[in-house]
Amino acid sequence: MLLTIATTHAPATDLGFLLHKHPDKVQSFEITGGKAHVFYPEATAERCSVALLLEIDAINLVRQLKTPNSSVSLQHYVNDRPYVASSFMSHAISAVFASAMNGRCETRPALIDQKMDLEATLAVVKVKGGEGFLRAVFEPLGYTVLAENHILDEVFTDWGNSSYFTVHLRNTLAIKDLLSHLFVLLPVLDNEKHYFISKHEVEKLLAKGGDWLPTHPYKEAIVRRYLRNVGNLTKLAMAQLTDTTLTEDDDEPLTNEPIAVKKRKNDLHFQRLESAAAVLVQSGAQSVVDLGCGEGKLMQILMKIGQFRKITGMDVSMTELRKAKDRLHWDQLSPRELERLTLMQGSLTFRDKRLADFDAAALIEVIEHLDLERLAALERTVFEFAKPKTVVVTTPNSEYNVKYDALSAGDFRHDDHRFEWTRAEFAAWATKISHQFGYTFEILGVGMLDENVGTPSQMAIFKKQV
């Protein structure tokens, strides 16, 4: 488990002052589960980098974790904890760089708020929710995210990618802010924590995230994951972050954001919507049209994100549109919200002037509802006539169907699906779209990766070529 932080700020060795660790020494500290070592692979006036290396003793760790309440079993002896940055790294940051994270630097106080070009590299990190989630949490904080996804096995490359990434995060900011972001977000990435949580965790979260979480578009996802989906703690933290008062009998989640655990059985769809929303946030779009919006689940998420000034849902089905009105509490919306939102009936197989001038469009689990021979009409409506800068498309990965016990071979996941594509078929379609309409594209998996059949859902992100 290795974190390095590098800077080219002049003089780069200021980093040593800020971190209270001398560049010429290797220092070691005892932490929960093992040891943390701090050293400087390079320390010149031009470039300085500090490394925080954790040595986690997996066997000792299991012993330490064996409390009367814990359900740690033998399988935990064989775990990935020693290799991946997670809550251990977060704990090590707070233990080893406490002064820097809390903004103390007696010798050079002016450095505390000094913004510098910083690059943090996490040698390996496990990310539940994949690259989309990684970007969704770091990019709104100003980071440029470079993520390298590791394949599961170099010999069996067709097993596909793992959920492990090497991540580079670049930003210009004060070191205390970088450390606070890492402290809060590392345990959020893999969604696993090595200790039991209590109200004390809420205090830590507010202390480290209080400055930047309130305006983060994914604050609820972050808070929930940080607090391991413990509902009452999440509510407490969200109330403090959003300055609202909790009532005794307030047992509804504070918002209907898709991360709500009570809808676990629909996790995959929420994950899809979450990933699509993250892509839309990153695209910088201010106006979005949700094509085949159904009952408005994506719109409900987008509404909570201030970046989106105009959110339009279109569907062919009046029944679905009525459900969307209910879900979005149309009758109770303020005039300002009503100005932002539009629901309209229309078919994607016809050219429609109302679809022009959107920055981005979403087609979430829609294409597979069209007969293949009508898909070409949808393609022209979206990519030739509406031609938004970004289009995000999701569809099932049919290879994954073998994992669903209830499906016999050749069955589709939904009665109304007219086709379901393999990863290769989806990639071939995306390639065709990109050539025909002048878009570049990238395909991401959505959902838990299976080494043989990939992820349950697949997402293509199209960008209009300029």
Q: Is 434 in the site for ligand SAH (CB under 6 A)?
A: no
CB of 257 to ligand SAH, least distance (A): 15
Contacts of 285 (CB under 8 A, 6+ apart): 307, 308, 358, 359, 360, 388, 389, 390
**Position of minimal CB gap to ligand SAH:** 294
Nearest residue to 21 via CA among 98, 112, 133, 111: 98
Burial of 310 (0-12, 13-18, 19+ CB in 10 A): middle
- Residue 345 phi/psi, 5° resolution? -95, 140
Burial of 318 (0-12, 13-18, 19+ CB in 10 A): exposed
Q: Is 177 in the site for ligand SAH (CB under 6 A)?
A: no
C-beta closer to ligand SAH: residue 46 or 384 = 384
Binding mask 99-138 for ligand SAH (x = CB under 6 A): ----------------------------------------
**Within positions 330 to 349, which residues make up the interface with ligand SAH, using CB under 6 A?**
347-349
- C-alpha triplet 112, 116, 120: angle, nearest 5°: 100
Q: Interface with ligand SAH by CB under 6 A: which range of 55-63, 178-186, 239-247, 309-317? A: 309-317
Applying CB under 6 A, among 253, 292, 454, 456 the residue interacting with ligand SAH is: 292
Residue 403 to residues 151, 153, 398, 408, 452: CA-CA distances in angstroms?
21, 21, 10, 10, 10
CB of 316 to ligand SAH, least distance (A): 4
Nearest residue to 460 via CA among 423, 418, 411, 420: 423
Q: Interface with ligand SAH by CB under 6 A: which range of 117-125, 165-173, 328-336, 366-374? A: 366-374
C-beta closer to ligand SAH: residue 13 or 283 = 283
Q: Interface with ligand SAH by CB under 6 A: which range of 25-33, 201-209, 237-245, 361-369? A: 361-369
Q: Is 315 in the site for ligand SAH (CB under 6 A)?
A: yes
Q: Is 365 in the site for ligand SAH (CB under 6 A)?
A: yes
CB of 39 to ligand SAH, least distance (A): 49
> 176 near 99, Cβ under 8 Å?
no
- In 152-270, beta strands by DSSP E: 161-173
Q: Is 364 in the site for ligand SAH (CB under 6 A)?
A: yes
Residue ranges that bind ligand SAH, judged by CB under 6 A: 292-294, 297, 315-317, 320, 347-349, 364-366, 369-370
